[in-house]
Amino acid sequence: MFCITILINKMKSITIKEQFNVHPKILYKAWLDSKVHSEMTGGQAECSAEVNGEFSAWDGYIRGRNLELIPNKKIVQSWRTTDFSEDDSDSELIIEFTSAEEGCLLTLTHNNIPAGQPDYKKGWIDYYLKPMKKYFQDKYRSASR
């Protein structure tokens, strides 16, 4: 008699693309700078620009570590929130910065989101991408005056 076990991967992945009116270098540096990250999202952040450096964002709700940094092109981070259970593995966040005619195309891929988590796609849009867009539009609109 054979016993077959089927494991269903309940991990979720999402990808979001957003156009910004700034150079990839500006977005890359902003993501890894504590002061600018805090300003552009509205939540307190402690960032590192070093591989294996730890970070926290949104007043400690998000924590992780930089796994790979390719200057001005790509950031890969381990990522988890206080909503993750102790048994949940860290998820993986990949942020890619591509030069585009109007500035930068940011591609955010969030892999291995444990089952039962909030709607992180909506969270990324509402708490990161929309505030970031406004931050950079306001900052560079006033700089051009």
Name the helix (H) or strand (E) containing 30. Answer: helix 24-32
pLDDT tens digits along 98-131: 999 889 999 999 999 998 898 899 999 999 999 9
With H, G, I as helix, E, B as strand and everything else as coil, classify residue 93: strand
Tell me if 73 is assigned to some domain: yes
Tell me if 4 is assigned to some domain: no
Tell me if 6 is assigned to some domain: no
CATH of the domain at 117: 3.30.530.20
**Per the confidence metrics, is the pTM higher than 0.85?**
yes
Q: What is the mean pLDDT of residues 7-27?
A: 84
Range of the domain at 79: 12-143
Tell me if 95 is assigned to some domain: yes
Tell me if 3 is assigned to some domain: no
Count of domains forming the chain? 1
Which of 9, 13, 5, 4 lies closest to 111, judged by CA?
Answer: 13
**41 Cβ contact list (under 8 Å, min separation 6):** 57, 58, 127, 128, 131, 132
